[in-house]
């Protein structure tokens, strides 16, 4: 038993890597010259031959900011606008030599009322040492404090200081009520974003600055129309109508609607006046108004999206199902820890009651299980300090829930609404149509000839969907199927051809060709549109709509309507069709030119948009609905999963190469959407499969595969692709019994450096002490996380020895140094390589070191990289295209999470997993960006591992556990490791 421990080391004071770099840099070191302006900051590069470690790190950060759209390249270097500077992290601000952040509180002194020209608001700084002084005017993103010097204004500080200064510069006559209210709105927004400020003077005011007004149309009994301004923001149209008289006269620039003040500037006021002039449309003109509202109202002032919503039945409050019923939390804990944020960020992240409720459920489960992190809108939140979390939640509630207003009582709560679903369809026999003989398809009509396995996949879909073409078998026949092919086999191509063939068959039997819906991750929507062009010579679709906010959504959305998940209802209430609110123009009520559900239309949308507009999309009668990367609907505790199950379609295709990522409940959930009732209710499934799988996962997985039968098609690349080059996995991890492991390579086994050993021993000692003291899982998980960090690089602990040059940084990690000879061999072969790492700090250090070591530009693709190009910032695909087109040797750093879907990088044939993902499915997804159709060269996958001189290391034990999961890949079950499995081995 491994019980001997090294003496606990004496640590130096904690300092971040940026502090260490700055602490050792000299004045003469080359660096970007900082020039602060009223608009932001210019970072001027030194002369071309200048070089220093500090300069390299600064350039790496500015390049990354440019790729994320936060900086602009200019001839002299880079420009960063003041709002972006104010939102930099502490380390990034220090690296760019910005002043230290302002700390303290802001108090206000108010003179006059918002209705008076004498209205003034002055700010007073309350510094941490107790001193008070007037808030100096900002110069861009800094203020100068006598005796202290310049101070950086962080996000809400910047917003508040700028608003106060802009208002103070107004002449008395310019301080009109709208401008005074605009100041109040800015200060309230800054408080919501975390500014320590006393707003007791404005507690009775809630100021709303709406977006561009739209119109709401009500059909009267006589056929005429009532046209009303619509501001959204939860402001009822009827309440607005009752108060439009407040805008009469030249000074009418705001509306007091219940507990809100709606602030209208010049254009917004003109828009409302425009609507007031056409408040009533006679019955004889109603049809013309609905078809061409621009003939009545100015589209330059008003968003002219009108119409009458259709209704659905069975809408109720979303009820959270305890995750214990579905086999645990399934948190990707290491990934969560690598990207963890402080609790304060939820103040900005949570913007609705829906999101608040979802986070509270996640938080409760995390605390019950002893987890150290909880999810909030795809962010990992550190919950190890309950008091800090509770304080942040209080701020969120104060913002979302209005104070009682006199006799009006409490404001109704906006609940998360969703469909009420039956557990299973009655009378479904679950048997695919028996179509004898081959299906006749003329593949010459397509631009690409399918592989044999793709022909088989297309014919499988058409056989399975055949019953849905006949009304007499439509309801009781197969409802859908799961295409679970390995990644890179062409699922998109197969689906497009199958849909084309299906629509042809609809024409043949005399049916209207109903629209088709594809739900996919946002980054894949354009890829689907492109694939249609690449696949069919003559498109089966009249048009393709990308239903997203930055594309076609506004063409079909009723402006001013909030997301459909926000409905006025109480627990236990079931809304009838007349009480549900809709936000999209769906149905024959609307002209074909503006309705979403036109025949022969392909609608592409994301899972988030499906969730937000679930009732409108659920009303449409689709021919096919395709869920790409269907693992996005694996969790019954998400609204998008409920919305997916409720969609009406003649056939549903769910496509994913990883039908099980964490636990068997995911497979049940996906199949329940494809074919309700096939695997019984969840309780039945749990008894039949989940419980037995605990003792026999391989056997149960194979049995499940067999029981699903023809409703699932699953192939792996190695079995179906003739001529696919070989893939070799080489690993540096080794257990004492691994003498016969053919994949082991000594050059990938990286001895820990002295500093790694010291920190590793201390972390292991802390872990054992926590386990012996039985202090709960949260502390043990943090200690486990430290073992993972130090196995990568001790600098991730922020306690490593001083580092200055990239070479010295690399030398502190045996694992980092182990990849250097690999990269030299790849360079000698003139080939390309992907390096996978999760930590952003590690990514940035690698970039600087690799550029210095190999003299090639290195880009980073992670979750912050934009999925679409904007301004000067390249998109994720553009960065990859640039990498692919670079002649010869090239390096690209990627996050395994960002690389999970929709990316093809077949110009690279080497993959280094410097930081391993503990979910084997995610690791396989990352590798398969390279190993897929189109790859011409043998693929080498390297798994370096840190080795401890005395103990079996973390990397060794993690590798052993991951290998145990790989053995059941083809049996459907390939779940991630649970953190307890890792803890139990240490």
592 three-state secondary structure: coil
- DSSP code for 39: S
Residue indicated by tokens 């969560």 = 336
Rounded to the nearest 5 degrees, what angle is found at the Cα of 553, between the Cα atoms of 550 and 554? 90
Helix (H, G, I), strand (E, B) or coil at 663: coil
Q: Distance (Å, rounded) from C-alpha 559 to C-alpha 574?
A: 26
Residue found under tokens 């009723």: 558
Q: Which of 857, 926, 842 is nearest to 891 (CA)?
A: 857
Looking at the DSSP assignment, which residues form a beta bridge with residue 945? 749
Identify the three-state secondary structure at position 946. Answer: strand
The H or E element that residue 291 is part of is: helix 283-291
Beta carbons within 8 Å of 879's beta carbon, 6+ residues apart: 67, 859, 861, 865, 892
Residue 166 to residue 130: CA distance in whole angstroms: 27
pLDDT at res. 522: 82
Q: How far apart are CA 371 and CA 365, in angstroms?
A: 8
Asked if 468 and 474 count as a contact pair (C-beta separation under 8 A), the reply is yes
What b-and-e string marks burial along 193-219, b requiring 16 or more CB atoms within 10 Å of the CB? bbbebeeeebeebbbbbbeebbbbbee
8 A C-beta contact, residue 73 and residue 62: no
Q: Cα separation of 123 and 688, whole Å?
A: 66
Tokens of 655: 């496509």
Per-residue pLDDT at 828: 95
The Cα–Cα gap between 324 and 319 comes to: 15
- Residue 721: which of 933, 549, 956, 431 has the closest Cα? 933
Q: Smallest Cα–Cα separation from 469: which of 267, 614, 624, 620? A: 624
Whether the model pTM is above 0.85: no
User: What DSSP assignment string belongs to 773-826?
Assistant: HT--HHHHHHHHHHHHHHHH-GGGGT-SPP--SHHHHHHT-HHHHHHHHHHHHH
d(CA 74, CA 77): 5
User: Are domains 451-560+588-717 and 745-752+806-983 of this chain identical in fold?
Assistant: yes
Q: Are 98 and 158 in contact (CB under 8 A)?
A: no
Could you list the beta-strand ranges (E) of 618-669.
621-628, 648-655
Looking only at the bridges linking them, the beta strands covering 480-483 and 648-655 are parallel
Report CA dihedral (185, 189, 190, 195) to the nearest 10 degrees: 120
Q: Are strands 340-341 and 379-382 parallel, antiparallel or unpaired?
A: parallel
**How high is the pLDDT of residue 455?**
93
- CATH among 3.40.50.300, 2.60.40.10, 3.40.50.2000, 3.40.50.720 for 745-752+806-983: 3.40.50.300
HSE on the CB side for 405, CA within 13 Å?
13
Count of beta carbons in the 10 Å neighbourhood of residue 446: 18
Query: What is the homologous superfamily of the domain 451-560+588-717 according to CATH?
Result: Tandem AAA-ATPase domain (3.40.50.10810)
Q: With contact defined as beta carbons under 8 Å apart, do 186 and 163 qualify?
A: yes
DSSP assignment of 843-857: HHHHHHHHHHHH-S-
Tokens representing 399?
Answer: 């913002």
Which residues share a beta bridge with 671? Answer: none
Tokens matching residue 52 = 């220093």
Q: Are 727 and 715 in contact (CB under 8 A)?
A: no
* pLDDT value at residue 822: 95
- The structure tokens listed for 757 are 């050993």
Is residue 753 within 8 A of residue 810, CB to CB? The reply is no
List the chain residues with pLDDT less than 50. Answer: 1-18, 21-22, 27, 305-335, 402-415, 422-430, 432-436, 576-578, 799-803, 968, 974-976
Rounded distance between C-alpha atoms, residue 808 and residue 838, angstroms: 22
Q: Which two tokens stand for residue 421?
A: 């679903």
The sign one gets for the Cα dihedral 425, 427, 430, 435 is negative
Q: For the chain, which residues make up each domain, given as ranges?
A: 31-95, 105-207, 213-295, 331-411, 451-560+588-717, 745-752+806-983
User: Crossing angle of helices 954-966/777-792, nearest 10°?
Assistant: 100
- DSSP per-residue string spanning 388-433: HHHHHHHHHHHHHSPPP-GGG-SPPPEEEEEE---SS-TT------
Ramachandran sector of residue 600 (left: φ over 0; alpha: ψ -120 to 50; beta: rest): left
Distance CA 113, CA 471 (A): 69
User: Which residues, including other chains, have CB under 8 Å from residue 222's CB and lie 6 or more apart?
Assistant: 283
């Amino acid at each position: 038993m491994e019980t001997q421990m090294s003496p606990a080391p004496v640590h130096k004071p904690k300092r971040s890597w940026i502090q260490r770099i700055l602490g050792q840099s000299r004045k003469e070191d080359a660096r970007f010259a900082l020039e602060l302006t009223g608009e932001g900051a210019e970072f001027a590069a030194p002369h071309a031959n200048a070089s220093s470690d500090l300069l390299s790190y600064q350039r790496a950060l500015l390049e990354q900011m440019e790729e994320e759209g936060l900086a602009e390249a200019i001839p002299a270097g880079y420009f960063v606008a003041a709002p972006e500077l104010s939102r930099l992290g502490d380390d990034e601000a220090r690296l760019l030599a910005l002043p230290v952040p302002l700390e303290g509180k802001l108090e206000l002194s108010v003179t006059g009322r918002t209705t008076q020209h004498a209205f003034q608001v002055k700010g007073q700084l309350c510094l941490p040492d107790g001193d008070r002084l007037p808030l100096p005017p900002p110069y861009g993103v800094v203020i100068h404090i006598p005796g202290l010097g310049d101070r950086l204004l962080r996000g809400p500080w910047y917003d508040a200081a700028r608003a106060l200064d802009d208002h103070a510069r107004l002449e008395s006559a310019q301080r009109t009520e709208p401008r005074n209210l605009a100041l109040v709105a800015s200060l309230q927004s800054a408080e919501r974003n975390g500014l320590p400020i006393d707003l007791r003077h404005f507690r009775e005011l809630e100021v709303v600055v709406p977006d561009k007004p739209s119109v709401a149309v009500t059909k009267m009994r006589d056929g005429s129309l009532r046209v009303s301004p619509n501001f959204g923001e939860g402001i009822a149209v009827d309440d607005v109508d009752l108060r439009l008289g407040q805008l009469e006269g030249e000074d009418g620039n705001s509306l007091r609607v219940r507990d809100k003040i709606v602030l209208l500037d010049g254009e917004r006021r003109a828009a409302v006046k425009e609507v007031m002039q056409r408040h009533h449309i006679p019955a004889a003109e109603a049809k013309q108004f609905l078809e061409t509202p621009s003939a009545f109202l100015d589209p330059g002032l008003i968003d002219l999206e009108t119409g009458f919503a259709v209704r659905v039945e069975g809408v109720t409050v979303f009820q959270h199902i305890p995750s214990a019923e579905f086999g645990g939390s399934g948190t990707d804990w290491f990934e969560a820890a690598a990207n963890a944020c402080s609790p304060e960020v939820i103040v900005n992240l949570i913007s609705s009651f829906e999101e608040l409720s979802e986070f509270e459920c996640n938080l409760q489960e995390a605390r019950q299980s002893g987890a150290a992190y909880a999810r909030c809108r795809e962010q990992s939140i550190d919950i190890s300090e309950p008091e800090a979390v509770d304080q942040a939640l209080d701020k969120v509630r104060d913002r979302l829930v209005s104070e009682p207003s006199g006799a009006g009582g409490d404001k109704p709560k906006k609940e998360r609404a969703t469909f009420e679903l039956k557990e299973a369809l009655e009378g479904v026999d679950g048997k695919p149509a028996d179509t004898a003989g081959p299906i006749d398809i003329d593949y010459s009509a397509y631009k690409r000839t399918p592989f044999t396995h793709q022909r088989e996949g297309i014919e499988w879909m058409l056989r399975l969907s055949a019953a849905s073409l006949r009304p007499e078998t439509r309801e009781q026949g197969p409802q859908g199927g799961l295409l679970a092919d390995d990644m890179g086999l062409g699922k998109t191509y197969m689906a497009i051809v199958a849909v084309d063939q299906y629509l042809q068959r609809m024409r043949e039997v005399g049916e209207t060709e109903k629209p088709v819906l594809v739900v996919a991750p946002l980054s894949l929507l354009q890829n689907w549109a492109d694939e249609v062009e690449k696949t069919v010579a003559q498109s089966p679709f009249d048009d393709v709509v990308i239903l997203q906010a930055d594309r076609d959504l506004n063409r079909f959305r009723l402006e001013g309507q909030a997301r459909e998940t926000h409905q006025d209802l109480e627990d236990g209430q079931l809304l009838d069709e007349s009480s549900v609110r809709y936000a999209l123009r769906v149905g024959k009520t609307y002209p074909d030119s503006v309705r979403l559900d036109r025949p022969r239309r392909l609608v592409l949308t994301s899972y988030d948009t499906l969730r937000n507009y679930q009732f409108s999309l659920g009303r449409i009668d689709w021919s096919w609905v395709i869920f790409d990367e269907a693992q996005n609907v694996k969790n019954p505790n998400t609204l998008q999963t409920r919305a997916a199950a409720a969609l009406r379609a003649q056939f549903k295709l769910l496509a994913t190469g990883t039908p099980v990522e964490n636990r068997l409940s995911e497979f049940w959930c996906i199949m329940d959407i494809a074919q309700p009732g096939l695997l019984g209710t969840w309780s039945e499934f749990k008894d039949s499969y989940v419980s037995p799988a605990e003792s026999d996962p391989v056997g149960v997985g194979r049995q499940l595969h067999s029981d699903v039968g023809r409703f699932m098609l699953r192939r792996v690349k190695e079995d179906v692709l003739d001529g696919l080059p070989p893939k070799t996995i080489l690993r540096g991890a080794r257990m004492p019994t691994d003498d016969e492991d053919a994949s082991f390579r000594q050059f990938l086994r990286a001895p820990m450096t002295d500093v790694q050993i010291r920190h590793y021993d201390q972390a292991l000692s802390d872990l054992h002490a926590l386990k012996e003291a039985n202090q709960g899982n949260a502390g043990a998980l943090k200690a486990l996380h430290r073992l993972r960090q130090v196995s990568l690089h001790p600098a991730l602990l922020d306690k490593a020895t001083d580092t200055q040059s990239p070479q010295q940084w690399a030398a502190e990690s045996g694992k980092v140094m182990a990849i250097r000879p690999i990269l030299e061999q790849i360079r000698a072969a003139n080939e390309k390589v992907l390096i996978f790492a999760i930590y952003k700090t590690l990514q940035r250090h690698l970039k600087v070191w690799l550029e210095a070591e190999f003299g090639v530009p290195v880009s980073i693709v992670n979750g912050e990289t934009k999925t679409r190009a904007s301004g000067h910032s390249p998109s994720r695909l553009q960065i990859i295209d640039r990498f692919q087109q670079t002649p010869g040797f090239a390096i690209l750093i990627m996050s395994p999470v960002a690389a999970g879907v929709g990316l093809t990088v077949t110009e690279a044939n080497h993959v280094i997993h410097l930081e391993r993902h503990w979910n084997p499915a995610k690791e396989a997804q990352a590798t398969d960006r390279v190993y897929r159709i189109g790859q011409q060269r043998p693929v080498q996958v390297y798994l370096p591992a840190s080795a401890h001189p005395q103990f079996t290391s973390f990397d060794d034990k993690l590798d052993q556990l991951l290998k145990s999961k790989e053995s059941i890949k083809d049996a459907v079950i390939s779940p991630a490791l649970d953190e307890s499995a890792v803890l139990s081995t240490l």
